[in-house]
Structure 1
């Protein structure tokens, strides 16, 4: 056990609800990541309304915490304006960064708001330094690394790109596939993980046709790094991220609390403290744990017998009698706690403790190491292992968000007061302010009387500080006075209140004038000779190689012979080499250079399937017989993504559309595309890999 970390990265906690965010801050997290009702990779979480987001922003500001908006899904062409508007809204009230998957949306936001930090979602598959170099150029300042990253690669990455912040998952659920490269849910049942709708098919049970065995062959254990966070801190990791926006506020609180204690104090010579914190963490939600891939060794990832929460082992059933069973507890147990056991068939039985007895005496709670009788609706068999899966003592009071104030947009207000001599309405008061290049003015003419007390501007300033339900609040109020007579003036308070209310009402109308979505920067491709090679691509189904065992693999690996990838169509011919995602880019570049040297008169059409591959383009820019197409794993779903590819790949021949998208969405994007590089859709008969793992 360690004694705490000398270097402290921030703990970034999941906030699937307002209550979870509050609990994360209370437990010691420096930051939380959250989503609005749309464009979040956890669409089934409670997520945040606009009002609750404003409350979170206000709370985070007061506590000096950070909040990261997750817009970590692909965005369709018809949704771009809404996604842009949502980010604009949140930026106005205060966020510390946006977590983005869609490269087109990222390009748009970086161009419009260069001061807003962008974090590359783990869905972007930042698998090596090449990908991070490219994303850094695209405007990202932090990358959430894949869960498959090792400590060694993290250290190498930090040294290679020291100005790119690294964020690493330290706890929570693992996907069977590399994040961002799973198409199973989207292609099989129409619920795309890239749209926040994953049906978690990897948690289902399946029957092996050969053996007849039914289990959960794709279900992964939960990641638990524990003491390894010291290695991550030393490796230069900026943020330690906890998964779990679909989980309870109690899970968030106790998981953050465990890692907070581990970072700050460690558990050296404190075994009882470690046991308490660790048990609380596991009781809120935990499958079997794995250390994941951090060590670089083959990890024990799968838990094929049961895909759900198992908490901690309470003990074994010693005997049963009537409506109760006897167990000697390995931890405390109380009435209404949740327990789990498995029948001989493997069926899980989850229930609450109705009653406890020690001897023949009813008790509310049994201490660790106590033999007690547990009364429950269903009984295990003698010898069955009993799990404790919830403890009512860990329940936390829910935070009422309505009790907290909402963040407001701070503006600078100017007030100009002018006395107009010899007029019935002898006072002119003008209020003015500006926000996002929009300026507003509100003018009032009224009757003012000489005053022996304070000038009315003191009352006006006090009233302006009270912005009520307005979205705006004054950061500074400047008042200028131009009086014909050098004396104080009195104005009826009702007149001043009316002016203030009308001014703030007019300010709030500015939100109806949020700038419209700017068009993408159009890159002309009319004279691009590479476009002619798109004829070799067809509908993608024939591209790839037949591996031993008659398995068709839709990519080219660096050690596969290039001859089988040669294609011709009319007068056009080339080696068509679709690169595999999550494959070492350096090996590809080395193999491509060899092939180019061996075939100086041949053309090559390279399929790019990751942001790492996009760095091949500038490195081999001097090779004029290299042409490119963006393949289906680069997920082009909107015009901004398409123009981004055209901008970064001069010799681009074609762009494949996002494979989970509908024909209607494809047609809408294709009809609006500028002339030049064609947009292609994969053949419905094409079967891409459902998982890349």
Structure 2
């Protein structure tokens, strides 16, 4: 299953023999930095793919804000009528609702951003009407097998085999949004995890959170024997056609001829030519796990070609600086080079204009408005146009052109049916803690459900507390959390908060219980709230990353009583990874001198800033808007981490694109 961020990448996937291609439209795509596709453009490409027995999946996998359902519904309606893709890939429950309302004829695939991480979540997905679940990249082969054994009939699984790794768990990262309104959940991530960070006052800047690329390569073959796994997914919708062509070719070889030494050797050679980052198997083999974060390596994509030289010469009596490098590889016209790394101010992408032989010299022109590259700066080949691939793409382009002119995009008159808003309730206050604190709380108590701590629970306390499940539950943790929740229920607990919608499936006995969808569910529109209501939820928390206008508008649209996080530590993200040498509960500094720290809770590492989310100055506005519960999150601060007086309003006063 191949990625395509533009037309050449789409055609490269077909030329390489992909069985399926996934891509995004100009809107509601989680890779908005890719070129993406228009409806009319895609209609012809989809016909070409179907003629070659390749399926087409459209990723509409961003969160919808309160004002988005109508535009998303019209787009989905046109997509269904003019393109008829085989499936849409979604993370937002509101798009599941819109697919139902528009009569979408294809399958619904739940994105890895939807965060389905344990067996019960798959049963909930099937009940929702999904045909496929895209599994997290953090899973081991044994965990994939566990999920496959829990997979209900009619539901398929999709597994990433190659491509970029995010440091944080998909759907559980607010890093880019928290630092400046560019939401990864809305397709706008600026990848702050790729930057340089330092530990301690004298620590050197290192890439403490930047992951290598996932590459299962020869290890992918055991997945063929795992029932319900129907697709090997290659990540890379921001990559060029060269990458797409070579990775698809490699994994087709591994699938069809990977049992021969020649097939494996050729496939690995193709992957070496794909111009990705340094590769890792990550945690796929539990008996031989690899650290996906390697502080000793740079993690920029591309093939290293050499370093820059600066020479000063005189021309007309004036000094002129020439910048050049000697290439370790042959360069072709149209090849793309990357100078430096993305967090360096002189970083840029350069197109090669002429043929350069191996060990030949290429002179670079200065660019107005950009700092001059320094001597010693690294140069990488990130995309290329070898003749064989160029001919294959050109031939397919001729077929597309011969199919006729682009059709006009027919307007859609679709308007979604929105749910009736719930009656307003009087606002109450809650405090969420890890353990029962001493002294008074601000409102009713809520506790994180920690299975190990339940044996110390005072008698009759279970019924007095609201119990919060964690944002991520991994496969081998599922039984413990299900048993702990059942034990609490038998002790009188009635009030539970699920921090992924699918966690409600951990409660086979729901009579007399109350369920809220927690803030980690990323709920941001009325149609998603309507789906939660149908699943059995009685209330929900709004996503705290929404800006003020959306936070204040949502309660009047919500079919459920709506809550919000008012104050407390909110994580930049949750990760299953930790680089060697990174110290827990100790400060790390960003290039902007911001302080972050990491805490391990269960199998996850929570990355926190040293300032709190604090919307308390807007408490009166939030109460007036109709929020029925305002939550304070109380966490223990590490002794070594200083408190910042930075105002943590998240995106309150920003425009979330």
Structure-2-length-normalised TM-score: 0.71
Cα displacement string for residues 484-514 of structure 1 (whole angstroms, at most 9, x for unaligned residues): xxxxxxxxxxxxxxxxxxxxxxxx9xx5464
Distance 1:53 1:559, change over 3 A: same
Considering only CA atoms, is the larger Rg found in Structure 1 or Structure 2? 1
> Do the aligned residues in 2 keep the contact of 1:545 with 1:565 (CA within 8 Å)?
no
Which one of the candidate residues 223, 226, 231 is aligned to 2:222?
Answer: 231
Cα displacement string for residues 391-436 of structure 1 (whole angstroms, at most 9, x for unaligned residues): 664773665969725999xxxxxxxxxxxxxxxxxxxxxxxxxxxx
Q: Does 1:51 align with 2:40?
A: yes
Distance 1:634 1:314, change over 3 A: closer
Which one of the candidate residues 480, 499, 504 is aligned to 1:587?
Answer: 480
Residues 86-235 of structure 1 aligned to structure 2 (within 5 Å): 86-93=75-82, 94-110=84-100, 112-113=102-103, 115-161=105-151, 162-235=153-226
> Do the aligned residues in 2 keep the contact of 1:335 with 1:353 (CA within 8 Å)?
no
Residue equivalent to 2:574: 691
Which one of the candidate residues 521, 527, 544 is aligned to 1:640?
Answer: 527
CA distance in 1, matches of 2:482, 2:494: 13
Deviation at 1:221, TM superposition (A): 0.3
CA distance in 2, matches of 1:326, 1:182: 38
Which one of the candidate residues 246, 252, 256 is aligned to 2:248?
Answer: 256
Cα displacement string for residues 547-570 of structure 1 (whole angstroms, at most 9, x for unaligned residues): 9xxxxx9833221348789999xx
> More displaced, 74-83 or 252-261?
252-261
CA distance in 2, matches of 1:391, 1:596: 60
Deviation at 1:338, TM superposition (A): 8.0
CA distance in 2, matches of 1:644, 1:338: 45
Residue equivalent to 2:238: 246
Helix, strand or coil: the match of 2:182? coil
> More displaced, 151-160 or 511-520?
511-520
Residue equivalent to 2:554: 669
CA distance in 2, matches of 1:152, 1:633: 27
Residues 238-637 of structure 1 aligned to structure 2 (within 5 Å): 238-266=230-258, 268-269=261-262, 273-274=266-267, 276-282=269-275, 286-296=276-286, 297-305=288-296, 307-309=298-300, 311=302, 333=330, 365-366=357-358, 393=386, 396=390, 404=400, 511-512=410-411, 514-520=413-419, 535=428, 537-538=429-430, 542-545=432-435, 555-561=448-454, 574-583=464-473, 584-597=477-490, 599=491, 602-617=492-507, 619-622=508-511, 624=512, 626-637=513-524
> Do the aligned residues in 1 keep the contact of 2:250 with 2:266 (CA within 8 Å)?
no
Residue equivalent to 2:563: 680
CA distance in 1, matches of 2:156, 2:487: 35
Cα displacement string for residues 580-601 of structure 1 (whole angstroms, at most 9, x for unaligned residues): 022233212211232344x3xx
Which one of the candidate residues 21, 25, 38 is aligned to 2:10?
Answer: 21
Deviation at 1:577, TM superposition (A): 1.6
> Do the aligned residues in 2 keep the contact of 1:171 with 1:243 (CA within 8 Å)?
yes
Helix, strand or coil: the match of 1:67? strand
CA distance in 1, matches of 2:64, 2:458: 33
CA distance in 1, matches of 2:164, 2:524: 27
Distance 1:565 1:304, change over 3 A: farther
CA distance in 2, matches of 1:252, 1:576: 48
> Do the aligned residues in 2 keep the contact of 1:15 with 1:245 (CA within 8 Å)?
yes
CA distance in 2, matches of 1:519, 1:325: 60
Residue equivalent to 2:542: 657
CA distance in 2, matches of 1:573, 1:407: 67
Residue equivalent to 2:651: none
Q: Does 1:68 align with 2:54?
A: no
CA distance in 1, matches of 2:415, 2:332: 58
Deviation at 1:262, TM superposition (A): 2.3
Distance 1:62 1:112, change over 3 A: same
CA distance in 2, matches of 1:470, 1:386: 42
Cα displacement string for residues 100-132 of structure 1 (whole angstroms, at most 9, x for unaligned residues): 110122133135426421000000111011111
Helix, strand or coil: the match of 1:92? helix
Helix, strand or coil: the match of 1:77? coil
Cα displacement string for residues 61-95 of structure 1 (whole angstroms, at most 9, x for unaligned residues): 32221110101011112110111111111111221
> Do the aligned residues in 2 keep the contact of 1:171 with 1:225 (CA within 8 Å)?
yes
Distance 1:117 1:667, change over 3 A: same
CA distance in 1, matches of 2:66, 2:349: 47
CA distance in 2, matches of 1:249, 1:375: 24
CA distance in 1, matches of 2:269, 2:57: 31
Residue equivalent to 2:370: none
CA distance in 2, matches of 1:86, 1:567: 52
Distance 1:566 1:242, change over 3 A: farther
> Do the aligned residues in 1 keep the contact of 2:421 with 2:558 (CA within 8 Å)?
no
Helix, strand or coil: the match of 1:396? helix
> Do the aligned residues in 2 keep the contact of 1:544 with 1:565 (CA within 8 Å)?
no
> Do the aligned residues in 2 keep the contact of 1:110 with 1:116 (CA within 8 Å)?
no
CA distance in 1, matches of 2:289, 2:495: 35
> Do the aligned residues in 2 keep the contact of 1:565 with 1:577 (CA within 8 Å)?
no
Residue equivalent to 1:369: none
CA distance in 1, matches of 2:38, 2:347: 37
Distance 1:274 1:96, change over 3 A: closer
Which protein, 1 or 2, shows the higher relative CO under an 8 Å CA cutoff with sep ≥ 6?
A: 2
Coordinate RMSD, CA, aligned: 4.2
Helix, strand or coil: the match of 1:241? strand
Distance 1:178 1:402, change over 3 A: same
CA distance in 2, matches of 1:353, 1:78: 40
> Do the aligned residues in 2 keep the contact of 1:170 with 1:224 (CA within 8 Å)?
yes
Q: Which structure 1 segments of 5+ residues have no match?
A: 1-11, 357-362, 367-371, 409-467, 472-507, 548-552
CA distance in 1, matches of 2:251, 2:114: 27
Structure-1-length-normalised TM-score: 0.67
Distance 1:393 1:546, change over 3 A: farther
Distance 1:47 1:30, change over 3 A: same
Deviation at 1:158, TM superposition (A): 2.2
Distance 1:136 1:406, change over 3 A: farther
CA distance in 1, matches of 2:64, 2:518: 18
